[in-house]
Amino acid sequence: MPEKGVNPVFHPCVFWPNAWLQKRFPILTGAVFLGMLIIWSIGGCTIRDRVSFWRNRQDYLTLKLQAAFNHSQDHDNLTYFSNSLGPVNRTDSHTNLIHKDHDISQSPASPPQSEVVSHQNVTAVSDEKPHQSLTHLPTLSNFSWISVQVEPNLTSNLLSRWLDPGGEPCRDSRTVDIRIPGLDDQKPVELSAGKIHEFVIQALDQSGKPRCLGGDYFETDLSGESWKTRPPVRDLGNGSYSLSLQVHPNFTGEYNLTVILLFRHFEGLKFSPHRFAYDRELRRIPVKFYRSNATLPQIRTCRKSDFSRDVWSGRWTRHGKNDDCKISNDGRYRCLNLDFPCQKPWCEGSLGSLESNGWVYSTHCAFRIFIADSAWKCLQNRWIFFWGDSNHVDTIRNLLNFVFDLPEIKAVPRRFDMNFTNPRNRMQTVRITSIFNGHWNETQNYEGLNSLQDEEYRNLLKRYFSEETVPDTIVMNSGLHDGVHWKNVRRFTQGAEYAARFWKDVIESVKGRGKRAPEVVYRTTIATGGYARVLAFNPSKMEVFNGVLLEKLKGAGIVSGVIDDFDMTFPWHYDNRCNDGVHYGRAPAKLKWRDGEIGHQYFVDLMLCHVILNALCAR
Ligand SMILES: *[C@@H]1O[C@H](CO)[C@@H](O)[C@H](O)[C@H]1NC(C)=O
Ligand SMILES: *[C@@H]1O[C@H](CO)[C@@H](O)[C@H](O)[C@H]1NC(C)=O
Ligand SMILES: *[C@@H]1O[C@H](CO)[C@@H](O)[C@H](O)[C@H]1NC(C)=O
Ligand SMILES: *[C@@H]1O[C@H](CO)[C@@H](O)[C@H](O)[C@H]1NC(C)=O
Ligand SMILES: *[C@@H]1O[C@H](CO)[C@@H](O)[C@H](O)[C@H]1NC(C)=O
Ligand SMILES: *[C@@H]1O[C@H](CO)[C@@H](O)[C@H](O)[C@H]1NC(C)=O
Ligand SMILES: *[C@@H]1O[C@H](CO)[C@@H](O)[C@H](O)[C@H]1NC(C)=O
Ligand SMILES: *[C@@H]1O[C@H](CO)[C@@H](O)[C@H](O)[C@H]1NC(C)=O
Ligand SMILES: *[C@@H]1O[C@H](CO)[C@@H](O)[C@H](O)[C@H]1NC(C)=O
Ligand SMILES: *[C@@H]1O[C@H](CO)[C@@H](O)[C@H](O)[C@H]1NC(C)=O
Ligand SMILES: *[C@@H]1O[C@H](CO)[C@@H](O)[C@H](O)[C@H]1NC(C)=O
Ligand SMILES: *[C@@H]1O[C@H](CO)[C@@H](O)[C@H](O)[C@H]1NC(C)=O
């Protein structure tokens, strides 16, 4: 993207860790924050915005050195990725695995859910009849996809387990290790692809005895060459946890199953959880998935009704790869040709434009990857209202830059209301309004849903719904700022109830004026990454907060669709390659990222842009 208009200056930014965080988390203390003062203009109106980055001085210097931007594509050398049953050179029915070491720079490990987990009911739910024509092999069994469900009464069950955990004999012991019968004792571990394999993780205390209380938060990760997923974990409440593994039959080969114990017994939910973080990798088990005759229900492109699912259990799959790909001077990873196609059924459209070096996310349905024309056509004459944190700010800018092809927009502020016009078709405009909800004061942080206690702020929001025309869709999220604000889950629950009532009233008042009520798409908040995994907005707490808020909004009857960004970000949250801890969508830039490496990968947020468009445009 052109450098024009970017004018980096230092700010003594308040944005990031506040004083208590700094004190307790010394790694952060050394950081110097760089703010960018960005001035840009659209349609004659000039907008000034301060975007804070967590960058150190070196980053700043790097940025200055990158004045000359080079738009030429880095490389067009790509390798078609063939999965084991792929069309490429299949001489026999055996798995023909290609082992290429790719350095996607993620650390492996990942997550199940912790406390929240207990409400997730992992079941094999098949939406459709097995698709016989998918493969020419005879069908041995009709398997279904892993899916997770939210336990009914999540909040009340969670609160009661938290307040009265039971399990007296285990109260004083703590989990230090685990045992996974069936995995620990089998070497090498070989499992058939297609099937859902269930195992039990038994938590063990210091003396090696089984624990009888739940609440531990495990991060689980199942990663292979071209498949990354978070195997669901369900807390059985008695010290055992069920773990489910599954890969599609086309993705046989070598995997690692990683299990990290991040927090023990709900400790991630505490107000200052970092002191309690356990964060130890307890297992990294090589697993070989071998070929079977199994078939799975076909994944189809998402329809509107697919967004009614509250929690997703998807996976990232890889369908292309360019080993020589390097970051370009404008911070972009143009590893595959722009028109590098999606492989059915994992996505539809051009995979190259995701700039993910071949990775794409799919879940119980697969997503369409938009191009500018289709995106404009979908959103023309619409009014989309965003209510959320700085991740929304990034996502909106990325949507405008990458999908709507408006690269001149270097940033959007935390609050704005604007009409955008397609430069190639002036008839197509979309109105986007975005109101930050980290604080009622747009320059401050860490109020989250409590922002709604401010009357002026409530009136600001209501005003947009009292005009002659009203937004047709609201996209909302919350969580990160809440993680810092609320003393405990019970207080957060009250904040979530208040928010649900507020929005219900807003929508009722629109209906009361005889207008069509806006649809509400709830987008769960991200899995915070790297160093942020142990802080006040750790994944364990964010997962609970996502579940509680969604339950309250659904209870108010106002949710028309859900996008589970938590699941989407989870496989990339172990380090800071794809996030700075709290954002996945920072603007591309060729400079040192948090982990000291040059550049960062923004494709996880680009994927979200497309998923949002799917939710807004699917029928
Ligand atoms: C851009 O990069 C290409 C290939 O790396 C190089 O040939 C070209 O000279 C560069 N252009 C500028 C303006 O630096
Ligand atoms: C593309 O990659 C292959 C294998 O990595 C290499 O042999 C070939 O020289 C590369 N081609 C170009 C044009 O860089
Ligand atoms: C699996 O591989 C077969 C053979 O290449 C292909 O026809 C089929 O579409 C693939 N299925 C999926 C879901 O990728
Ligand atoms: C298929 O694989 C075999 C052995 O791996 C190799 O000898 C052959 O050249 C390959 N054929 C094609 C078309 O790539
Ligand atoms: C999981 O959900 C299914 C269907 O909703 C239900 O039949 C089953 O009893 C649940 N299992 C558990 C352990 O809650
Ligand atoms: C599997 O398919 C057979 C017939 O093809 C059917 O009778 C059986 O109920 C199916 N099992 C499940 C678990 O769906
Ligand atoms: C959920 O809570 C409500 C009210 O407390 C209760 O009536 C209902 O039975 C509960 N449902 C489940 C599945 O626990
Ligand atoms: C824990 O609970 C599960 C589900 O209720 C049960 O199947 C399992 O046997 C229990 N484990 C122990 C060690 O009691
Ligand atoms: C599994 O982990 C090991 C050790 O970290 C690593 O060397 C290997 O490449 C991983 N394998 C896969 C398939 O990711
Ligand atoms: C797959 O089906 C074929 C033909 O029915 C059978 O011979 C073979 O053993 C099956 N393979 C597996 C792994 O079940
Ligand atoms: C955007 O356009 C609508 C009508 O299409 C108009 O009512 C509104 O004031 C415009 N908003 C801005 C910020 O220009
Ligand atoms: C917002 O906070 C800033 C300090 O961060 C303060 O200067 C400003 O007056 C506040 N604005 C409002 C409307 O309260």
- Do residues 497 and 408 make contact, with C-beta atoms less than 8 angstroms apart? no
pLDDT tens, residue by residue, 429-440: 999 999 999 999
Ligand 2 binding pocket (C-beta < 6 A) is 77, 323
Looking from the CA of residue 152, the nearest atom of ligand 7 is 13
Residue 610, pLDDT above cutoff 60? yes
Residue 10: pLDDT band with limits 50, 70, 90: very low
Q: Nearest CA to 210 among 221, 223, 201?
A: 201
Tell me, what's the pLDDT at 293?
85
Dihedral angle sign, alpha carbons of residues 168, 274, 184, 566:
positive
CA of residue 412 to ligand 11 center, whole Å: 17
CA of residue 403 to ligand 11 center, whole Å: 22
- Cβ–ligand 9 distance for 107 under 6 Å, the answer no
| Contact residues for 52 (Cβ-Cβ < 8 A; gap 6+) | 11, 13, 15, 16, 33, 34, 35, 36
- Cβ–ligand 10 distance for 138 under 6 Å, the answer yes
CATH fit for domain 6-70+303-617, picks 3.40.50.720, 1.20.120.1200, 1.10.3720.10, 3.40.50.1110: 3.40.50.1110
Sorted by where each begins, the domain ranges of the chain are 6-70+303-617, 115-290
- Cα distance between residue 297 and residue 299, in whole Å: 6
Residue 108, pLDDT above cutoff 50? no
CA of residue 279 to ligand 9 center, whole Å: 20
Q: What CATH fold (topology level) applies to the domain 115-290?
A: Immunoglobulin-like (2.60.40)
- Do residues 549 and 281 make contact, with C-beta atoms less than 8 angstroms apart? no
CATH fold match for the domains 6-70+303-617 and 115-290: no
CA of residue 507 to ligand 5 center, whole Å: 33
CA of residue 443 to ligand 12 center, whole Å: 7
- Helix H or strand E encompassing 457: helix 455-463
Q: Nearest CA to 78 among 255, 252, 323?
A: 323
Largest Cα–Cα separation, the chain:
71
- Cβ–ligand 5 distance for 121 under 6 Å, the answer yes
Residue 168: pLDDT band with limits 50, 70, 90: confident
pTM: 0.76
Angle at the Cα of 606 (from 42 to 325), degrees rounded to 5? 110
pLDDT tens, residue by residue, 221-231: 999 999 999 99
- Helix H or strand E encompassing 227: strand 227-229
pLDDT tens, residue by residue, 389-431: 999 999 999 999 999 999 999 999 999 999 999 999 999 999 9
Give the residue-averaged pLDDT of 512-536: 97
The encoded tokens of residue 278 equal: 């356990």
- Cβ–ligand 5 distance for 123 under 6 Å, the answer yes
pLDDT tens, residue by residue, 31-44: 323 222 222 222 22
